[in-house]
């Protein structure tokens, strides 16, 4: 693999494309932000022009989220100039930013689940009737008009709790638009969306761009960058690396700017001998969720699972692992029919399950890395008269985090202080310690940076090489196509096809996924 | 926004370099010392004697909170696991009644069970512990098997157990208990029972799988389940252990008073929760230490003694205690927030 020495971060201002002053919405220069013990941003500059989509890219910890939070008034910079419409400004809070025409759409949704869509959108700005009470009819009407403008098809009176994640995302976007802001900040808005919904989102983004708004778009996904962005600013280790027009850039150049080295091989797929059938599933059904799912995985095989959000892919994984036991159907492991009624029994049958949501069902955020990693192996030889053999576990976990290259000074650190990629490695380590024969991975590389992603891909291939049967669910088609031996595609709770690696293309998979 | 996006990997390492971090218990211990020193100072100013340099006072100080302390050891585990237990005080009363009724001597004409007098001391002790255990088992089972919040489940047991304690003798107190039984609560025995209990559970929480699972469930219940922990079974276990400790507290209470009364243990559940929270156990779960709870218990004891020593009305004591509990929780929230941003 070719690798260049990491380039030195360059001086900032020099590399902005020339621009007419009056089209500048936001201009930031020499911004610095330090947290106790770490400089998150140093001497960073950034310009947002009206009527453009400006992507921010960089690995996790590069500083793009910090910059975004400064722009949105969440953080107050230690140093530097922030000009909005050419005037110096010092934002004190997100509300302050909103009132200055800067709206942010959070990666994690901030909606009140038991209030209606309309109430969520117009909160703090509810239309009042002549008695000073909230005029619900008008509020719903305003919402319908807003939705018509954005071609969103949702009932303004519905409770947010009843909506899917992607619909909630649409409500967030509508709310941001409703403020008539000049600047919209979107933090990985597509991470919970299906391809279809992404297309819808992009239509909205383009429409807003036509209206002369500036859109700051944070993403990890390269194809989105080329599809939607006009300009891109790249950050690395808290420094501004450069800003370019997208059409002047290639895929590889962006990655090179982000990591300071070439990544020539995106997917390190190695062909390994495929062994016996490890897991066989027949007519597996969870009433109301998925139906008649049948497939098998062999030792050393990677079975990719593709499908849009809501297709039931994650539910199948949860059922296999006993999180929500099946209503009917059969699971056979090494030819033997087994009943999996809890994660515990699944583990006894040699399964391991890396869940989709690191924070909700993976990490014990306020416990240490050590405690997080060892939790599933507190039994057998690691237990002596009820007491945990901590020394043995310490060295096991130290060895594991060495193998997985978890970046941390020591394992007593709280897991919440790690980046997403490192948290993911710790969770993978947790499962590898159980010595699984069948490994179920749900979105193993979601929301983690390019470098860590490649390492995890390599690891998955290595495990397959050791004879582990791998089931890998992913929303990223390149990942599914690049890693899998076979790909199972689901649509609305049913399997619509199982495709061999050789026959699989983006188009064939998407066709099956769309039903 | 995700935390991971904003913070480079080694943030923690760098902040560590700024100096050693005091363990939470050390900070709570400083609070204890601070409270004691304030009373010492006020003692010399207004009473003309030392608050601390008085062995008897120190013993009484611990003695009067020993029962609370025993309960708090159990409650701490429940709170670490993300739960709450409001039933402890009532369980103390019910246990006290049941065990006292089996500890009566035969030279008392109006014994509750005339046929069951002069039993060996093991009988009332075992009966008391069993009552506590069953109450805890009910708490745990209801919480695990139905999805109702622990607050409600244990509130139910709180009211029911208190009612049963009154119904047991139609409100009559139970007296004339055997000397052997009374010996359980005599002298500094409650202090010894408290400290031994605390030590045992400190070791269990720190070094056994039981402890690790307790913290894990409190930190993230869904993740604990996916990690292969039988969450429901563990919930029941921990509530049962806490019930058992409340039962022990009930035995000690009735032995010390040499009687059983349905009004015993009133509000003990809140004192125990207060001791845990002052001691640094987070109501969000996943955080807390028995050592902290012991110090928290001692802070409550020091305040009670201090106010008595200064001859200040008990009313003020409750007012101050209330404030301290709120301050402790605010401090906890503040610490949590600091860690995040």
- The span from the CA of A415 to the CA of A426, in Å, is 8
Tens-level pLDDT at each residue, chain A (515 residues): 344 444 444 444 445 665 555 588 999 999 999 876 567 889 999 999 999 999 998 766 678 888 998 999 989 999 999 999 989 999 998 889 988 999 988 766 678 889 999 999 998 889 999 998 999 999 999 999 999 988 888 999 999 888 887 788 889 888 888 988 899 999 888 877 777 888 888 999 999 999 899 999 988 777 888 999 999 999 887 889 899 999 998 877 887 787 665 444 567 788 888 999 999 999 999 998 899 999 999 999 999 999 876 788 999 999 999 999 999 999 999 999 999 999 999 999 999 999 998 888 999 998 999 999 999 999 888 999 889 999 999 999 999 999 888 888 889 988 988 888 889 999 999 999 999 999 999 999 887 777 788 889 999 999 999 999 999 999 877 888 889 999 999 988 999 999 999 898 877 887 788 76
- Rounded to 5 degrees, what angle do the CA atoms B151, B154, B159 make? 120
pTM of this prediction? 0.77
Chain A residues with CB-CB distance to B230 below 8 A: 342, 344
Pairwise CB contact (< 8 Å): A375 & B227: yes
ipTM: 0.84
- What letter does residue B19 receive in the DSSP assignment? S
- The span from the CA of B281 to the CA of B328, in Å, is 10
Tell me the Ramachandran region of residue A128: left when phi exceeds 0, alpha when psi lies from -120 to 50, beta otherwise.
Answer: beta
Tell me the per-residue pLDDT of A54-111, one tens digit each, with 9 for 90 and over: 999 876 667 888 899 899 998 999 999 999 998 999 999 888 998 899 998 876 667 8
- The span from the CA of B239 to the CA of B217, in Å, is 13
Say how many CB pairs under 8 Å bridge A and B: 158
Fold agreement (A1-101+184-190+215-264, A277-513): yes
Pairwise CB contact (< 8 Å): A37 & B11: yes
Pairwise CB contact (< 8 Å): A388 & B222: no
Pairwise CB contact (< 8 Å): B230 & A387: no
Tell me the per-residue pLDDT of B108-155, one tens digit each, with 9 for 90 and over: 777 888 888 888 999 999 999 999 999 999 999 999 999 899 999 999
Chain A residue at shortest CA distance from B226: A343
- The span from the CA of A129 to the CA of B237, in Å, is 56
Handedness of CA A407, A412, A413, A419 (dihedral sign): positive
Neighbours of A196 (CB within 10 A): 14
Chain A residues with CB-CB distance to B12 below 8 A: 37, 408-409, 413-414, 417
Sheet-wide strand order for A336-338:
A290-298, A277-286, A328-333, A336-338
Residue A508 in tokens:
């064939």
Sequence spans of domains, chain A? 1-101+184-190+215-264, 106-180, 277-513
- The span from the CA of B9 to the CA of A238, in Å, is 12
Superfamily for the A1-101+184-190+215-264 domain: P-loop containing nucleotide triphosphate hydrolases (3.40.50.300)
Sequence spans of domains, chain B? 48-340
State residue A52's pLDDT score: 94
B209 → closest Cβ in A386, A419, A421: A386
Pairwise CB contact (< 8 Å): B226 & A383: no
Residue B317 in tokens:
């004591």
Domain covering B48-340: architecture: Orthogonal Bundle (1.10)
Does A389 reach chain B within 8 Å, measured CB to CB? no
CATH of A277-513, one of 3.10.310.30, 3.40.50.300, 3.40.640.10, 3.40.190.80: 3.40.50.300
At residue A399, what are phi and psi to the nearest 5 degrees? -65, -45
């Amino acid at each position: 693999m070719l690798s260049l020495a990491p380039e030195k971060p360059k001086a900032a201002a020099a590399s902005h494309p020339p621009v007419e002053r009056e089209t500048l919405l936001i201009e930031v220069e020499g911004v610095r932000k330090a947290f106790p013990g770490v400089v998150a941003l140093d001497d960073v500059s950034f310009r947002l022009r009206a009527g453009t989509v400006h992507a921010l890219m960089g690995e996790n910890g590069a500083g793009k989220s910090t910059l975004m939070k400064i722009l949105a008034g969440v953080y107050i910079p230690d140093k530097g100039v922030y000009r909005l419409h050419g005037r110096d400004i010092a934002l004190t809070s997100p509300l302050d930013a909103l009132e200055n025409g800067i709206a942010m759409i959070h990666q994690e949704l901030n909606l009140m689940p038991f209030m209606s869509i309309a109430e969520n959108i117009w909160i703090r700005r509810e239309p009042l009737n002549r008695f000073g009470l909230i005029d619900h009819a008008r509020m719903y009407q305003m919402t319908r008009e807003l939705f018509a403008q954005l071609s969103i098809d949702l009932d303004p009176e519905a409770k947010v709790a009843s909506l899917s994640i992607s619909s909630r995302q649409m409500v967030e976007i509508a709310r941001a638009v409703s403020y008539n802001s000049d600047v919209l900040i979107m933090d990985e808005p597509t991470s919970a969306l299906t391809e279809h919904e992404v297309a819808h989102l992009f239509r909205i983004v383009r429409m807003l761009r036509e209206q002369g708004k500036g859109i700051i778009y944070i993403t990890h996904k390269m194809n989105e960058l080329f599809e939607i962005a006009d300009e891109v600013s790249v950050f690395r280790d808290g420094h501004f690396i450069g800003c370019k027009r997208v059409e002047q850039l290639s895929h590889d150049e962006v990655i090179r700017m982000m990591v300071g080295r070439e990544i020539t091989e995106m997917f390190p797929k190695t062909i390994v001998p495929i062994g016996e059938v490890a897991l066989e599933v027949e007519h597996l059904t969870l009433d109301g969720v998925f139906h008649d799912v049948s497939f098998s995985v062999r030792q050393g095989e990677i079975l990719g699972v593709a499908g849009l959000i809501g297709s039931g892919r994650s539910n199948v994984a949860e059922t296999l692992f006993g999180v929500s036991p099946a209503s009917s159907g059969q699971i056979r492991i090494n030819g033997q029919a087994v009943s999996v009624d809890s994660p515990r029994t699944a583990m006894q049958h040699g399964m391991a399950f890396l869940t989709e949501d690191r924070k909700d069902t993976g990490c014990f955020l306020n416990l240490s890395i050590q405690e997080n990693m060892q939790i599933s192996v507190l039994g057998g030889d690691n237990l002596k008269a009820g007491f945990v053999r901590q020394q043995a576990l310490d060295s096991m976990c130290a060895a594991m985090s060495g193998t997985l290259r978890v970046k941390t000074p020591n394992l007593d650190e709280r897991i919440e202080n790690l980046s997403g990629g490192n948290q993911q490695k710790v969770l993978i380590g947790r499962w590898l310690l159980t010595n699984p024969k069948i490994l179920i991975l749900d979105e193993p590389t979601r929301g983690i940076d390019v470098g860590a992603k490649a390492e995890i891909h390599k690891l998955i291939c290595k495990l397959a090489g050791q004879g582990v049967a791998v089931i890998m669910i992913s929303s990223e088609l390149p990942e599914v196509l690049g890693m899998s031996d076979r790909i199972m595609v689901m649509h609305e709770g049913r399997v619509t096809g199982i495709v061999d690696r050789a026959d699989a293309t983006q188009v064939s998979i998407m066709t099956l996924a769309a039903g | 926004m995700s935390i991971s996006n904003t913070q480079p990997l080694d943030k923690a390492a760098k902040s560590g370099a700024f100096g050693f971090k005091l363990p939470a218990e050390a900070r709570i211990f400083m609070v204890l010392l601070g409270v004691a020193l304030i009373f010492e100072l006020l003692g010399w100013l207004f009473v003309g004697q030392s608050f601390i340099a008085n062995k008897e006072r120190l013993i009484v100080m611990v003695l009067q909170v020993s029962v609370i302390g025993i309960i708090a050891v159990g409650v701490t585990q429940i709170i670490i696991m993300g739960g709450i237990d409001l039933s402890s005080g009532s369980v103390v009363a019910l246990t006290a009644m049941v065990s006292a009724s089996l500890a009566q001597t035969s030279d008392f004409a109006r014994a509750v069970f005339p046929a069951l007098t002069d039993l060996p001391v093991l009988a009332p002790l075992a009966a008391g512990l069993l009552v506590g255990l069953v109450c805890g088992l009910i708490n745990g089972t209801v919480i695990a098997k139905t999805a109702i919040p622990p607050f409600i489940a244990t509130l139910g047991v709180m009211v029911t157990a208190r009612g049963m304690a009154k119904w047991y003798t139609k409100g009559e107190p139970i007296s004339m208990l055997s000397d052997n039984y009374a010996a359980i609560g005599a002298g500094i025995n409650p202090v010894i029972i408290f400290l031994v209990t605390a030590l045992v559970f400190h070791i269990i929480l720190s070094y056994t799988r039981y402890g690790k699972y307790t913290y894990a469930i409190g930190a993230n219940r869904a993740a604990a389940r996916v990690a292969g922990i039988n969450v429901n079974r563990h919930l029941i276990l921990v509530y049962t252990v806490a019930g058992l400790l409340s039962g022990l507290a009930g035995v000690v209470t009735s032995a010390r008073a040499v009687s059983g009364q349905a009004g015993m243990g009133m509000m003990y559940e809140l004192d125990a929760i207060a001791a845990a929270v002052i001691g640094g156990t987070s109501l969000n779960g996943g955080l807390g230490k028995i050592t902290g709870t012991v110090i928290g218990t001692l802070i409550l004891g020091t305040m009670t003694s201090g106010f008595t020593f200064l001859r200040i009305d008990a009313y003020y004591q409750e007012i101050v205690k209330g404030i301290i509990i709120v301050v402790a929780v605010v401090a906890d929230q503040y610490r949590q927030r600091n860690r995040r941003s």
